[in-house]
Chain A
Amino acid sequence: MTTSAIADRLTRTGILLALMLFAIVPLLSMLTTALAAPGSTPQGLSWPSDPHWHNFVDAWSAANFLALFRSSTLIVIGVVPATVAMATAAGYALAQLTVPFGNAIYGLLLVGLTLPVEALITPLYYNLRAMGLLGTRLAIVLPLIGLLMPFGVFWMRAHFLGAEPALTEAAKVDGANNWQTFRRIHLPLATSAWSALSVLFFLATWNQYLLPLVLVDDPAKRTVAGGLGAFQGQYGTDIVLLCAGSLLIILPSLVIFLIFQRNFVKALLQGAVK
């Protein structure tokens, strides 16, 4: 290898390492800060001489994490299966069946892909108050199902458009009705699509901040992100405790991502580019 080729290679690796460092350093800074002496204000990045792992235990109880995780899990259970099921059915129908006004329905759903939550939050607040749901988890679950729906339908429709038409024909020939064709043939083949959608919806729900902030006062009934926001408001000045708490809160998302990393990215790409 010539010197210029080596220099070239070093530059390229250097740029890449710099970008990786940029991505990871804020989290490292949080970690070293979380291990500093309780109540102190350490430097941005400095490994403490005696790491105070106990800070995580303190943060755990200070933020009432058990309640927060339980609440987020309940909200995820309320949102994800229902949304994925409805989106799968609608996506299948729009791709494979003749739906009356199908184009108009799909067009209206597409508009929802770009609608920001902020544009809806004011009427949502007054509507849910009128329904007596303010302060309950349903106040987060119901709007979130509606908000995630456009993306879900878009995603599943894209998948079912790619389904082999001969399969549907063959099922018809065998006398299967729409439901049987869907249930026996297309749904099993769509497993990767709807499971990837579930992971995306899990993250979107877990990380949802504005809805819980506005609709639910009690942090113990919020999503993890909503609870984290409240935690920051309460312990914003205690940087050690705040960093420990934030790390605890982001851990599940991180673990889920690392486990599903391969399928996740692959699926994301399939869906996004269709």
Chain B
Amino acid sequence: MPTISSPPELRQASPMTDPTSTSAATQPAGPHRYARRARHWSALLWVAPAFATYAAFVLYPMFQSVQYSFYHWDGIGPATPAGLDNWKAIFTQPELLHSVAHAFVLIIFYTVLPVGLGLVAAALIRELRPGPFNTTARVMLFIPQVLPLVAAGIAWTWMYSSDGLVNQVLRAVGLDQHTRAWLGDFTFALPAVGVIGVWVMLGFCTVLLLAGIGKIDPSLYEAARIDGAGRISEFLAVTLPGLRRELVVCTTFTMIAALASFDIIQISTQGGPGYQTMVPGVQIYRLTFLQQHVGQASALAVFLAALVLVVIWPIQRLGREK
């Protein structure tokens, strides 16, 4: 660290050295060490405001969630100890267990598809010459990412409705018997909600991966071409390994969004029909604010937070290895 490592000789050697600081630097060990420690503790002041707000509005509530999870509480009356009831319910009550399972299904739509399609799109855009079409492609693909998820939910709710565009297209190509109210359909509601996730996440992944490709040494591509590599083997041997860090960021970001999804589902289906699209985020909201099962909501909340950590951890490790 600079404060510790800068040798006093260096300071004295400089012709521009401020005389007061020189005398401080050359003082005997006692006061010098005292001054250094004072400076050292004062560094905490820089961090204090950030950490205090974080502790008050994130760490402390998280701790409270853990606490609440061991009680039965309706939010008004006295809380009664619940032991592990709320925790057991997560694994035994089908609607809670299913909500967790749905979150994992959403990973296919929020992570796997956007990263896969993003790789394709990025590889395609890379081969375009810089120009208006190139820029248009980037900007257009990225637009869904900057809109509120609420707007994404509203736009797609309309797309999926009986009169919406999806059914309009199906009718236009003569597939009338396949039209339906997609979000009200027991089989198709979850994938339909998932496609909204693809829509939102695709641009983010594309732009990030594209920038990663831009940083890959062009001579690697040249070498691959000289070795007679086709587009596929070039992709596997050069592009994919070169994108490791970007892939880790994309995967992490989109997986958190999948496991902790709320906005899109609350707007488009509210977890229905039945519990077909229920996810932990919406379930927590309903348990606390509609059903007043604060303890149960908190257990699910802590479980969700832990789940995200457990899923993200190995991916981050993967990114840190050489």
A192 at interface, CB cutoff 8 A: no
Task: Report Cα–Cα, A15/B128, bound state, in Å.
Answer: 13
Nearest opposing residue in chain B for A13, CB measure: B124
Residues of A within 8 A of B139 (CB): 258, 261
Query: Residue A97 at the B interface, CB < 8 A?
Result: yes
The reply to whether A253 and B147 form a contact with Cβ atoms under 8 Å apart is yes
- Across the interface, which residues of A come within 8 angstroms of B3, CB to CB? 97-98
* Contacting pair B127 A12 (CB below 8 A): yes
- If A42-B163, A105-B47 touch, whether A119 touches B246 (CB-CB below 8 Å) is no
Interface residue? B272 (CB, 8 A): no
Chain A stretch 139-156: residues in CB contact (< 8 A) with chain B: 142-143, 145-147, 149-150, 152-153
A119 touches B59 (CB 8 A): no
Query: Scoring B residues 102 to 130 as 1 if CB is less than 8 Å from chain A, else 0, what string do you get?
Result: 00000000000000010011001101100
The reply to whether B284 and A105 form a contact with Cβ atoms under 8 Å apart is no
**Is B202 engaged at the interface, CB distance under 8 Å to the other chain?**
yes
Whether the pair A89, B304 counts as a contact (CB closer than 8 A) is no
Taking the closest CB of chain B, its distance from the CB of A146, in whole angstroms, is 3
Q: When the two chains form their complex, are residues B159 and A29 in contact, meaning their CB atoms are under 8 A apart?
A: yes
Whether B305 contacts A41 by the Cβ 8 Å rule is no
- Whether the pair B17, A109 counts as a contact (CB closer than 8 A) is no
CB distance from B62 to the nearest CB of A (A): 6
Residues of chain B within 8 A (CB-CB) of A256 are 146
Residues of A within 8 A of B163 (CB): 41-44, 239
Stretch with Cβ within 8 A of B (4 or more), from A18-26, A48-56, A63-71: A18-26
- Given the interface contacts A118-B284, A253-B146, does A19 sit within 8 Å of B54 by beta carbon? no
Count of chain A residues with Cβ under 8 Å from any Cβ of B?
97
Contact across chains for A123 and B256 when beta carbons are under 8 A apart: no
Q: Mark A181-205, 1 if CB is under 8 A from B, else 0.
A: 0000000000000000000000100
Q: Quick check: B6 and A265 within 8 Å, CB to CB?
A: no
Q: Is the CB of B39 within 8 A of A178?
A: yes
**B68 interface hit (Cβ, 8 Å):** yes
Contacts of A122 in B (CB 8 A): 65, 68, 284, 288, 294, 297-298, 301
Q: A86-B50, A122-B297 known; A173 and B68 CB under 8 Å?
A: no
Residue A16 is within 8 A (CB to CB) of chain B in the complex: yes
Of B82-90, B183-191, B203-211, B217-225, the one contacting chain A is B203-211
Smallest CB-CB separation from A260: which chain B residue?
B146
A26 touches B148 (CB 8 A): no
Q: Which residue of A lies closest to B40 (CB)?
A: A98
Would you give the shortest CB distance from A186 to chain B, in whole angstroms? 12
Choose one: A121, A257, A273; the contact of B143 (CB below 8 Å). A257
Residues A16 and B125 in contact in the complex (CB < 8 Å), given A41-B163, A209-B148, A228-B154: yes
Which of A29, A94, A96, A174 is close to B158, meaning CB atoms less than 8 Å apart? A29
Tell me if B29 counts as interface (CB < 8 A to partner A). no
Question: Are B14 and A173 touching (Cβ within 8 A)?
Answer: yes
A100 contacts chain B at the CB level, 8 A cutoff = yes
In angstroms, Cα B164 to Cα A43, docked, is: 6
Q: Known contacts A44-B168, A173-B11; is A250 also within 8 Å of B147 by CB?
A: yes
- Docked-complex contact A272 and B148, CB < 8 angstroms: no
- A127 and B62 CA atoms in complex are apart in Å by 12
Interface status of B281 (Cβ within 8 A of chain A): yes
**CA A69 to CA B168, docked complex, whole Å:** 35
A99 and B163 alpha carbons, distance in the complex (Å): 60
Rounded to whole angstroms, the CA-CA distance of A236 and B154 in the bound complex is: 9
Report whether A249 and B43 are in contact in the complex, using a CB–CB cutoff of 8 Å: no
A261 to B159, CA, bound (A): 27
A103 to chain B minimum Cβ distance, whole angstroms, is 12
Measured CB to CB, the closest approach of chain B to A155, in angstroms, equals 12
* Chain B residues near A (Cβ < 8 Å): 1-4, 6, 10-11, 14, 16-18, 20-21, 39-44, 46-47, 49-51, 53-62, 64-65, 68, 75, 117, 120-121, 124-125, 127-128, 136-144, 146-152, 154-156, 158-159, 161, 163-169, 199, 202-203, 207-208, 211-212, 245-246, 249, 253, 256, 259-260, 262-263, 266-267, 280-281, 284-285, 288-289, 294, 297-298, 301-302, 304-305, 308-309, 312
List 18 extra interface pairs beyond A44-B166, A253-B146, CB under 8 A.
A16-B125, A29-B164, A30-B154, A33-B158, A44-B164, A100-B41, A108-B59, A114-B312, A116-B256, A118-B281, A143-B57, A146-B57, A178-B46, A209-B262, A209-B263, A229-B150, A239-B161, A253-B148
User: Measuring CB to CB, which residues of chain A are less than 8 angstroms from any residue of chain B?
Assistant: 12, 15-16, 19-20, 22-27, 29-30, 33, 41-45, 86-87, 89-90, 92-94, 96-100, 102, 105, 108-109, 111-112, 114-127, 142-143, 145-147, 149-150, 152-153, 165, 168-169, 172-175, 178, 203, 206-207, 209-210, 213-214, 224-225, 228-229, 232, 239, 242-243, 246, 249-250, 253-254, 256-258, 261, 265, 268-269, 272-273
* The 4 residue pairs across chains A and B that have the minimum distance between CB atoms: A175-B18, A146-B57, A44-B165, A116-B260
